[in-house]
Amino acid sequence: MFTARPITFLKPCRAGSPAALIAPQLGGRRAGRRREVRGRPASTVRAVISSDDRSVGTVPSQVKLGSAGAPSQAVPEGQAIEVRAVVTIRKKMKEKLMERIEEQWDSFIHGIGQGILIQLVSDEVDSETKSGKRSTEAAVMGWLPRPTEQPYIVEYTADLTVPPDFGRPGAILVTNVHSKEVFLTEIVVHGFSQGPIFFPANTWIHSQKDNPSKRIIFSNQAYLPSQTPEGLKDLRQDDLISLRGDGKHERKKYDRIYDYAPYNDLGNPDKSEDLARPVLEGEERPYPRRCRTGRPPTKSDPFSESRIEKPHPVYVPRDEGFEEIKEGTFSAGKFKALLHNLIPLMVTALSGSDNHFACFSEIDNLYKEGVILNPSEHQAAKKFMLPGILKNMMKIREPLKYDLPSIVSRDKFSWLHDSEFARQALAGVNPVNIERLREFPIVSKLDPTIYGSPESAITKDVIENELNGMTVEEAIKQNRLFILDYHDILLPFIKRMNSLKDRKAYASRTIFLSTGTGSLKPIVIELSLPSSISPRRKRVYTHGHDATTLWIWRLAKAHVCSNDAGVHQLVNHWLKTHACMEPYIIAAHRHLSSMHPIFKLLHPHMRYTMEINALARQSLINGGGIIEECFSPGKYAMEISSAAYKSLWRFDMEALPADLIRRGMAVEDAAMPCGIKLVLEDYPYADDGLLVWSATKDWVHDYVTHFYPDHPNSVSSDVELQAWWDEIKTKGHPEKRNEPWWPNLETREDLETILTTMMWTASGQHAAVNFGQYPFGGYMPNRPAHMKKLIPEEDDPEYEKFLENPQKAFLTSLPTQLRATQLMAVQDTLSTHSPDEEYLGELPQSHSNWMNDQRIRTSFEKFSARLEEIEDIIKKRNRDLRLKNRTGAGVPPYELLLRSSGPGATGRGVPNSISI
């Protein structure tokens, strides 16, 4: 019979240290384990208790409390085995007075054993119940808990007795008798012959009053479905069922339900007809699915889901939310953005208009001097009843400065240069759209009956004027011509975009020439309007040498940069990383047990993604949100994203080598690493990306080979794996479920490619297109998010004004002060690493016991070491003066794929997951 034994309350060593009560044999075994895990103290049950409720439940009466005493390791054969769980509770890191009082109350509750109940479940089957052998429940107990090295961590213990034929515990059932949730990170059971048995959790345990179901925590032993011990099979299935839910009801904060819903919560038609947005699903507007919240429909539109507005949280499964450090960093970023936006917002309100920048020095002053606004100095302020807190904030005498973006930190005029404009297509924040020009003439794929002649206005003569005697055919054959083509994705929306206030855009094409010195230069830009807007709907620009042509060329480049910024944000960043990753995460939780080795591999790459996506739906991509306010497409932004998903997105092309081949930036070459050869020798994103891709693929290969034996059906017969992959296609991407390009999942090689693609998307790819947002976009003229004017033509009334003051014409075409600083503040927040960031190839302390397989641990260490070598290779490349896209006068190094980073907007660092 299994009974609980409380620790001695009055005779602990060192002010109640539970460790002092553990028998020397256990202590020695625990110390040995401590050396195995990089010097980390032995793990325990770890939890953080929320502070929203002080009430306490009652321990069931069947829990028996025996006499005090330490368990003995030397147990005669046939007698009961005494085991011990050491329990660690993590308090809040920053506590208010009432929370500190609650903390003392919580310590008392744990001391008397009325907080957490645990029950061991064996790998072996009970002959009577036909399920895993179970102990009776035991209360986690202790008194005057021992503080650890971290001030917010304290420890408790629970002593347990099991019969000698109990077998190896493979799961623990946890009941939280508190009336508030606790965060459990790990349980370690000592006393079995196998040594300490680790049960990693890192999960919120709901209160019994919210959900009477017990939580199931499995050990760190990985099992394929077919290998599951008999005693754990029913629990494995029960746990997955609980995560799927029933597809009904509105989700609660404490729920851990993963289900699918379309993007039908971006609009708010109940608030305003202008805020109504189409639902993104179906043949016309396909899109990946998001997490279901179950909120009721709007009153105005039964197909749209009602919204939750700030500061109220949008539901995500409880374990997907930000932890305290991350929440603090994100909140600090939002407050910083508020301060940065407050000044231009108040200026706009007090002056009655949103002013453009009058000169470039006004932009420079955002970084040099900052801005101070005292409302008492403005006569118009008397018209406004400003809250006192705003008045006080605005009277702060410390100027609010923006950090100087790296793009102008070395050369403030670099953004004006053609060489820098071209360099950023290879080494900027959006290096994934450039393609090799492989056919001429350039032809649109749009319907000519709607959009007119499909041929581009870029003629052979225009290009050959820039080729120094070469023909177009020769340049194409020698891989000298490249194109940035936003014509087809934008032209169907241009008329609607240009009808919006302060929005004027073209559909653009840009041709680049490889100079032969390793760099590119732009030679031709085509800007197109729909034929219904302009009879001269396609205009071609070249750089020229006279003053007028030069300023027109700068405006043409600014329009291209604006298009590049929009496509980058809506397609390459949001759609291809954030939105497409979410269905993989949902399906993983619904169909891959936490015991499954593939779940364990993918889990670090899921962290925070669903939470940041929910926040984006609330404030960034929603109707009237930041993206609509700041970028060219305005209210049509997400429709463009949907159109790109419909015409461009393919899972098989999201693998880096495949994408490079698709764009003509690489050719197949079996003799080269990754099986491809780049057509440009200096393409920083691809050069560094392939190193990270290759290291990840090698790690995945070692991992998959270890868990799937060399058997023809080892992958195809994995029922959880097949269900996961099938649901990604049928429920996560339902409009594309019948596409022929989905990879098969039959062999280990298939699985390796699928996993590497997902892990690359979450880590390297997202890092490459996200953390450069402020370094490149923080100086607005370099990447204006929208343009306010079309380029003046000779017969336009604006043309004379342009000739008289071209700088003013340029600046008044760019976003206003408010819109520019609004986006700069958001880009700064989105480019920031949290102090708790988990980087690729690093094993955080909280996950150090994620796997008990030494071969896998060794493979992971090899992966980590390879990434350190890659950092050194990248740093060496950034010092190589032959590589013009990384080095040179005023050229910032390419660091976006350097694995490590400190906190802040560093312009480097590759997190495991899409965490911001």
Q: Is 578 a catalytic residue?
A: yes
Q: Which of 578, 589, 596, 603 is catalytic?
A: 578
For the chain, state the CA radius of gyration.
Answer: 30
How many other C-beta atoms are found inside a 10 Å radius of the C-beta of residue 532? 11
Query: DSSP letter string over 731-757?
Result: IISGGGTT-TTSPP-SSHHHHHHHHHH
For residue 567, give the nearest of 653, 497, 667, 479 by alpha carbon.
497
User: Rounded distance, CA 657 to CA 666, Å?
Assistant: 8
Q: Which of 190, 206, 568, 573 is catalytic?
A: 573
Angle at 88 between CA 123 and CA 103, to 5 degrees: 140
Q: Is 49 a catalytic residue?
A: no
Q: Is 355 a catalytic residue?
A: no
Q: Indicate the angle between helix axes 637-648 and 547-567, nearest 10 degrees.
A: 80
Q: Which of 110, 733, 766, 786 is catalytic?
A: 766
How many other C-beta atoms are found inside a 10 Å radius of the C-beta of residue 433? 18
Cα distance from N-terminal residue to C-terminal residue, the chain: 50
- Burial 479-514, CB ≥16 within 10 A → b, else e: bbbbbbbbbbbbbbbbeebbebeebbbbbbbbbbbb
Fill in the DSSP letter of residue 252. P
User: Rounded distance, CA 119 to CA 114, Å?
Assistant: 15
Which stretches within 11-64 are classed as H helix? 24-36
Counting beta carbons within 10 angstroms of the beta carbon of residue 658, is it exposed (0 to 12), middle (13 to 18) or buried (19 or more)? Answer: middle
CA-to-CA separations, 779 to 565, 625, 728, 768, in angstroms, rounded: 13, 21, 39, 18
CA-to-CA separations, 139 to 4, 155, 180, 256, 834, in angstroms, rounded: 7, 14, 17, 24, 36
User: Rounded distance, CA 763 to CA 588, Å?
Assistant: 17
Fill in the DSSP letter of residue 116. E
Which contiguous run of DSSP H or E holds residue 654? Answer: none
- Burial 567-599, CB ≥16 within 10 A → b, else e: bbbbbbbbbbbbbbbbbbbbbbbbbbbbbbbbb
Task: Assign 686 to helix, strand or coil.
Answer: helix
Q: Which of 176, 770, 782, 878 is catalytic?
A: 770
Query: What are the φ/ψ torsions at residue 541 (nearest 5 degrees)?
Result: -125, 140
Q: Is 573 a catalytic residue?
A: yes
What secondary structure, in 3-state letters, does 272-292 show?
CHHHCCCCECCCCCCCCCEEC
Q: Do 335 and 623 meet the contact criterion of CB atoms below 8 Å apart?
A: no
Beta bridge partners of 120: 172
Q: Do 232 and 594 meet the contact criterion of CB atoms below 8 Å apart?
A: no
Q: Is 766 a catalytic residue?
A: yes
Q: Do 837 and 901 meet the contact criterion of CB atoms below 8 Å apart?
A: yes
Amino acid identity of residue 483, one-letter, is: I
- Burial 117-128, CB ≥16 within 10 A → b, else e: bbbbbbbbbeee
Residue with tokens 């003569």: 461
Residue with tokens 């209160």: 207
Q: Which residues are catalytic?
A: 573, 578, 766, 770, 916
